Amino acid sequence: SDLVAQGQVAGKRVFIRADLNVPQDDAGHITEDTRIRASIPCIEMALNAGAAVMVTSHLGRPTEGEFKPEDSLAPVAKRMGELMGREILVLANWTDGVTVAPGQLVMLENCRVNKGEKKNNEELAKKMAALCDIFVHDAFGTAHRAEASTYGIAQFAPVACAGPLLAAEMDAISKALLAPKRPLVAIVAGSKVSTKLTILKSLADNVDQLIVGGGIANTFMLAAGLKIGKSLAEPDLLAEATAVIEAMKARGAAVPIPTDVVTAKTFAADAPATIKAATDVADDDLILDIGPQTAQALAEQLKKAGTIVWNGPVGVFEFPAFENGTKVIAHAIAESSAFSIAGGGDTLAAIAKYGIEKQVGYISTGGGAFLEVLEGKTLPAFEILGKRAAG
Ligand code: 3PG
């Protein structure tokens, strides 16, 4: 947007790397188009400024060098075209040259089909860079990858900068984690501690409350000396969970352990649900949600929060009998005056299910990228764009 304001975009060839990696059903229909919608402002900004615009993205994880019809961005171009009210041409075999006129928009076929994309091959990146005058990285969902169309091209393009989505994502995350209004409450849930251990450790140094849910909470319950029956947990990580609890305690912060839970004997939507005290879990019980007392207590904390970071539903919210915890948390976030930020596929599905999109401060388009930022990592996108900006 700075370049647009400076009048440096008119007549230029602008190459936009977006993240248009959206879910599709078996028939190839797009089932969720948030990423497409989120990518349009950057494209429109370039078009309105008089640029010749190329946009590309990966879609799925295709085999490099072997283009199959299901790898095509054609359905994405169709959906984007409907949203923008224009037809968008999809170009295949584009690395050797692209013809595009000022004011025109073309979509370059799935960039991950190009040999060398994933490994950030220098020759491929230089070919891509040669297609443009300005490279715009607007793919926050892919900001944690250093591939030819995200990293190499940013090294070699004449000008490389961040697009508005990439910038907005980083602003929201910085607001939540670097200069938060306190108390800062994080909800980290999901099936495994192992996949989110780095996040838990990183947040343990920063947040005032660390609410754990799902299988992660089960491991923390074990660490607190509670029995969890045959619930999903990682007993190997008890020492790590204890270390997180201790680190939080040492700062006067807390990891609330559930006081009640919703259990079943089998993992099924129609399994009878029983609410139990956390101290009464039987050997053959599966914990599938936090109990109503725990949910209410957490909701009170969320209402008092200054900032909320949410990643992961706290129970099996896809099954109505085990959705209460996630539903109560979602509504508490919606009602809280805190600045809230949420990310991750399951979290977005919960937000959509409870219709609270408008009440969440910022919904990230990142899955893995959002998690890596929570881990405290500097993502490759920001590293290379920072280097370019520094000259
Ligand atoms: C995502 O969906 O998280 C991004 O588009 C990145 O996809 P990838 O994990 O296949 O690199």
ipTM of predicted assembly, 2 dp: 0.98
Residue 59, annotated ligand binder? yes
Q: Which CATH number fits domain 170-374: 3.40.1260.10, 3.40.250.10, 3.40.50.300, 3.40.50.1260?
A: 3.40.50.1260
Between 391 and 70, residue with greater pLDDT = 70
* Average per-residue pLDDT for the chain: 96
DSSP secondary structure letters along 180-231: PPSSEEEEEESS-HHHHHHHHHHHHTT-SEEEEEHHHHHHHHHHTT---TT-
CA atoms within 13 A on the CB side of 10: 3
| Residue 27 pLDDT grade (very low, low, confident, very high; cuts 50, 70, 90) | confident
Handedness of CA 162, 163, 166, 172 (dihedral sign): positive
Which tens digit of pLDDT belongs to each residue from 93-126? Answer: 999 999 999 999 999 999 999 999 999 999 999 9
Asked if the domains at 2-162 and 170-374 fall in one CATH topology, the answer is: yes
Which tens digit of pLDDT belongs to each residue from 240-262? Answer: 999 999 999 999 998 999 999 99
Would residue 366 show up in a list of annotated catalytic residues for this protein? no
Residues 192, 235: contact at Cβ < 8 Å? Answer: no
User: In the chain, what percentage of residues exceed pLDDT 90?
Assistant: 93
The pLDDT value given to residue 58: 98
Architecture of the CATH domain 2-162: 3-Layer(aba) Sandwich (3.40)
Residues 136, 162: contact at Cβ < 8 Å? Answer: yes
Residues 258, 294: contact at Cβ < 8 Å? Answer: yes
What is the distance between the alpha carbons of residues 311 and 346, in angstroms, rounded to a whole number? 8
| Residue 232 pLDDT grade (very low, low, confident, very high; cuts 50, 70, 90) | very high
CA of 140 from ligand 1 middle (Å) equals: 10
H/E stretch holding 174 reads helix 164-177
By CB atoms closer than 10 A (0-12, 13-18, 19+), residue 212 is buried
Name residues contacting ligand 1 (CB within 6 A): 19, 21, 61, 141-142, 145, 367-368
Residue 346, annotated ligand binder? yes
Catalytic residue among 11, 28, 345, 355: 345
Catalytic residue among 12, 13, 35, 127: 35
- 0.80 exceeded by pTM: yes
The pLDDT value given to residue 250: 94
CA of 61 from ligand 1 middle (Å) equals: 8
Which tens digit of pLDDT belongs to each residue from 169-192? Answer: 999 999 999 999 999 999 999 888
In the chain, where the domains are located: 2-162, 170-374
Residues 169, 364: contact at Cβ < 8 Å? Answer: yes
Residue 234, annotated ligand binder? no
When pLDDT is averaged across residues 147-164 and rounded to a whole number, the result is: 98
What is the distance between the alpha carbons of residues 255 and 197, in angstroms, rounded to a whole number? 14
